[in-house]
Copies of this chain bind each other. A is one copy, B any other.
Amino acid sequence: MAPAMPKLIIRVELSDTSAIGPGKVRLLEHIDETGSISAAGRAMNMSYRRAWLLVDDLNQHFKEPVTMAGSGGKGGGGAKLTSFGRTLVRQYRAIEAQALAVSSRHLATLEAAMKSRPSRATRRRSPTE
């Protein structure tokens, strides 16, 4: 169950049908950690095909690819982020952090206006809050 605090989600639309959001960025981060598109997909409960399509979608929009073939290793294959792929992740996380920093006061105002969550009856706010 998510906490009651409203959460800011950043998406950057690249075209009418495509965007970079938390999902694709997390996928790139998993590729960076695991060295594999399929392992990154598994970490996010998605098929290799879906993970590949998300990576390919990014590659369609940028001059440089976001991943490249890994250096082999056990079983060969694998994938790693390109320098541009890392830059893309960094840019997104920077936008996200800065947007969160400037909006935290507004998010707190929204939170104060929200109902207590029905499923958390023991966690009610005081009536004066």
Binding site for B on A (CB under 8 A): 1-2, 6-16, 19, 60-64, 84, 87-88, 91, 94-95, 98-99, 101-103, 106-107, 109-110, 113-115, 117
Contact = CB atoms under 8 A, between A and B. Distances in A.
A103 B98 contact: yes
A19 B113 CA distance: 14
Nearest to A98: B102
A94 B8 CA distance: 13
Given A99-B102, A102-B102, A9 B13 contact: yes
Closest 6 CB pairs of A and B: A99-B99, A98-B102, A9-B11, A95-B103, A7-B13, A91-B106
Given A91-B109, A110-B88, A99 B10 contact: yes
A113 B8 contact: no
A14 B114 contact: yes
A61 B117 CA distance: 8
A64 to B, nearest CB: 7
A12 B16 contact: no
